Structure 1
Amino acid sequence: MIELKTPTEIDVLREAGRVVAQTLHAVRAHAGVGTPLRELDELAHAVITDAGAQPVFLGYRPNWAPTPFPGVICASVNDAIVHGIPDDQRLADGDLVSIDCGARVQGWVGDAAITFSVGTAHPTDVELTETTAQALAEGIAAAQPGGRIGDIARAIGVLGRTAGYGIPGPLGGHGVGRDMHEAPFVPNDGRPGRGAPLRPGLVLAIEPMFLAGGHDDIRTDEDGWTVRTGDGSRAAHVEHTIAITDDGPRVLTTP
């Protein structure tokens, strides 16, 4: 069931989104060559709890997961697309890192993700990251009241396919509210005019994921969480939580 949020509820969702944005900013500023992923996770936990919020990912276990997620953030490096576990791996020069983060304030959730290079960035990674960020902006711009979920999917997919990137069909955005994952599913490729209507009060996480190798296939590690590109190419993942309003999309996960 798709739940529409009231303006007051969206304001609280905005506060959760602000905590997420602050956390991502702190993690990115701290990440460098030699930084362990676990250290980034500990930093994220401190920022979230110091703000009076609760981490959403820690202990999260959807029905497909073999174990509860062990981290506060998802830290996905190079060919990892999403759900990377923040372990003792140390970042190396040139690594491409995606950080996904969620926080809960007064029972409401914010969810966002960023991708960035550590140390010396590879030109192809820069292009991949910038294109994915542009797709997020265009997906948000397409989230207009009176439209459809397919309008968002089309805006993202056209950009990714034109650039020659792969787009993993099973992965995409989703509704956000009291739970991190709510209806509807928001694909990153599709046909305009299809899917659930975009009505004021609908809150969505829009999250393009592009795969540099141009193939759509993916695989999951033995940990049951980390999703990687099937061909070993690099991936980028960016995300904002937005609310559909009468005046257009309102981004909830900015600082």
Structure 2
Amino acid sequence: MAILIKTPAEIEKMRISGIALRKVHNALAPTVAPGVSTMDLEKVAVAKIAELGGIAAFKGYHGFPAALCTSINQEVVHGMPNAKRILKDGDIISIDCGVILDGFYSDAAVTYAVGTASPSTRKLLDTTLASLEAAILECQVGGRLGDIGAAVQEMCEGAGLGVVRDFVGHGIGRSMHEDPQVPNFGTRGKGPRLKAGMVLAIEPMINAGKPEVKVLPDGWTAVTVDGSYSAHFEHTVAITKDGPQVLTR
């Protein structure tokens, strides 16, 4: 495992990429509503990325056809935008997006409740987001990679939720996926030591039911085996001597 250490100048470039990505998410947020298609969301993202002078990181990546991953309800990750997929009241949708700016990648995801959320749905969303924030706090020089996953696992399993094992976070920089893998489960005090200059995409993928997932015949869309809803939140985080810096905040 070769974990690439970024210089302060490189982290600053990644921050600029992350700010652009946040502007994309900010443009998408008010668009999420009943009656909107996932292709409508894709068009908003494509236009905003172009306006900002960026490149859609996902489009064409291993053949993926879109700038966004739009995953609804029981879809965990990698759902593909489609003009026929119309959001309904009570749905949830994970919108995952990446931007390349000046050669550096940023990656972030948000799960939205569409219209009215049930108490169980709200618990899923709130707990998943809180687990991401807990994981970010573990991004301290001298800590261990296992501390990050343990923070997610402890919070989510403690709330009776299922932590997905099949998909994990990752290092990020001049490439979308770099070492190390960043699981959402783990043992505190285990794994590589965290060093200043590491940049990680931390992304809890949490199911309301059991953790098992399967990939649909399209080769991309991952869904929960038991049909339960799934939430996904993600930030790109730099580890620095002054503590974690969330580059996509």
Q: TM-score, normalised by structure 2?
A: 0.98
1:116 partner SS: strand
Instruction: Spell out the pairing of 1:12-51 with structure 2 (5 A cutoff).
Output: 12-51=13-52
Q: Does 1:110 align with 2:77?
A: no
Match of 1:59 in 2: 60
| Alignment counterpart, residue 67 of structure 2, candidates 72, 76, 89 | 72
The aligned counterpart of 2:241 is: 246
Tell me the secondary structure at the aligned position of residue 233 of structure 1.
coil
1:10-45: per-residue Cα shift (whole Å, max 9, x none)? 001001111111111211211111101001001101
- Equivalent residue number for residue 93 of structure 2: 97
C-alpha deviation, 1:200, in angstroms: 0.3
Which residue in 2 is equivalent to 1:142?
Answer: 138
Of 166, 187, 192, the match for 2:188? 192
Counterpart for residue 64 of structure 1: none
What is the distance in 1 between the residues matched to 2:53 and 2:79? Answer: 25
Deviation at 1:2, TM superposition (A): 1.0
Q: Distance in 2 between matches of 1:7 and 1:149?
A: 21
Indicate which of 205, 221, 224 corresponds to 2:219: 224
Q: Which residue of 1 aligns with 2:11?
A: 10
* Deviating 4+ runs (over 2 angstroms): none
> In 1, Cα distance between the equivalents of 2:183 and 2:217?
25
Q: Deviations over 1:57-96 (max 9, x none)?
A: 00100xxxxxx11110100000001001011211011110
Q: Residue 238 of structure 1: CA displacement?
A: 0.1
What SS does structure 2 have at the residue aligned with 1:135? helix
SS of aligned partner of 1:180: coil
Residues matched between the structures, number: 247
Shift of 1:171: 1.1
Structure 1 stretches lacking a partner, 5+ long? 62-67
2:195–2:239 CA contact under 8 A, matched in 1: yes
Tell me the percent identity: 45
TM-score with structure 1 setting the length: 0.96
Name the amino acid aligned to 1:187. P
Aligned-partner residue type, residue 156 of structure 2: G
Instruction: Provide the secondary structure at the position in 2 that maps to 1:75.
Output: strand
Does residue 198 of structure 2 align to residue 202 of structure 1?
A: yes
Aligned to 1:168: 164
| Matching residue of 1:156 | 152
Q: Structure 2: which amino acid aligns with 1:38?
A: M
**In angstroms, what is the RMSD of aligned CA positions?**
0.7
Matches of 1:69 and 1:137, distance apart in 2: 29
Equivalent AA in structure 2 for residue 197 of structure 1 = R
Aligned residue for 1:100, secondary structure, equals strand
Alpha-carbon shift at residue 223 of structure 1 (Å): 0.7
List runs of 5+ in structure 2 lacking aligned partners.
Answer: none
Cα contact 2:32–2:112 (8 A) shared by 1:
no
The residue type equivalent to 1:35 in the other structure is: V
Q: Paired residue for 1:236?
A: 231
SS at match of 1:46: helix
Secondary structure (helix, strand or coil) at the match of 2:108 reads strand
1:120-171 deviation digits (Å, cap 9, x = unpaired): 1121111100000100000000111001110001111100110111111121
